[in-house]
Amino acid sequence: MAMRKFYSEIRGLKVSEVPNHVKPMLSIDFVKNAVKKGLDNYHAKYIQTSSIDPLYHVCFGGMIFSYLVALPEERRHLEHQQQHAKEHGGAH
């Protein structure tokens, strides 16, 4: 949704005008305000309405995070297994 809004804002600009339009969006204050606004919207949508969705967000977020943390180790393990199979001429 935010990307669509951003795209619609810059779509009518000339290429030389884009950096001047984007530069203020990269400031610390702009990012802080955007995060604060997002948290306020989340609070109003889920917390104040006593929704169960934040629990789902934590559970699924935790699963995704643990998968991403374990991914490098799993890739190393798979690569080692493939190398071992190649060296010994068989599939394990």
**pLDDT tens per residue, range 55-92:** 999 999 999 999 999 999 999 999 999 999 998 876 55
Instruction: Please tell me the pTM assigned to this model.
Output: 0.61
Q: What is the per-residue DSSP string for the chain?
A: -HHHHHHHHHHTS-GGGHHHHHGGGGSHHHHHHHHHHHHHHHIIIIITTT-SHHHHHHHHHHHHHHHHHHHHHHHHHHHHHHHHHHHHTS--
**What is the band of 9 on the pLDDT scale with cuts at 50, 70, 90?**
confident
pLDDT attached to residue 41: 96
Gyration radius from the chain CA atoms? 23
Percent of the chain scored above 70 by pLDDT? 96
**Residue boundaries of the structural domains of the chain:** 52-91
pLDDT of residue 19 exceeding 60: yes
The closest alpha carbon to 80, from 2, 88, 18, belongs to 88
pLDDT tens across 28-60, in order? 999 999 999 999 999 999 999 999 999 999 999
